[in-house]
Amino acid sequence: MSNAVGRIAATLGLLCFCLAGAGCSLGCTREDESAALRQKTVDAVAALQQDLELPKHFMTEEAPRTSEEFDPNRYFSVLDHLSMEPGYVLDYVYLYQGMGGLPILYARQADQPAYRTYSDYVKAVGSEPSRSGYLEHVQVDGTAEGFFQFVALYIQGGQFYLFWHAGYNDVAILCDRGALEALFTSFDAWDLKLPDDVKKAARELELDPLVEFQDDTVLVQVVTFSKWVGFNREAYTISRSFPHKVLDQKVEIVIPYDCGIRF
C-alpha span between 30 and 21 (Å, rounded): 14
Q: How far apart are CA 11 and CA 176, in angstroms?
A: 31
Please say whether the beta carbons of 106 and 134 come within 8 A. yes
pTM of the model as a whole: 0.86
Instruction: Locate the domains of the chain by residue range.
Output: 30-256
Give 102's pLDDT tier (boundaries 50, 70, 90).
Answer: very high
In sequence order, the 6+-apart residues with CB closer than 8 A to the CB of 13 are none
Decide: 43 and 178 in contact? Cβ < 8 Å.
Answer: no
**Tens-digit pLDDT profile for residues 44-71:** 999 999 999 999 999 998 989 888 999 9
Interhelix angle 144-156/30-49, rounded to 10 degrees, is 30
Question: How do the residues of the chain divide into helix, strand and coil, expressed in percent and rounded to 5?
Answer: 40, 25, 35
pLDDT for res 24: 42
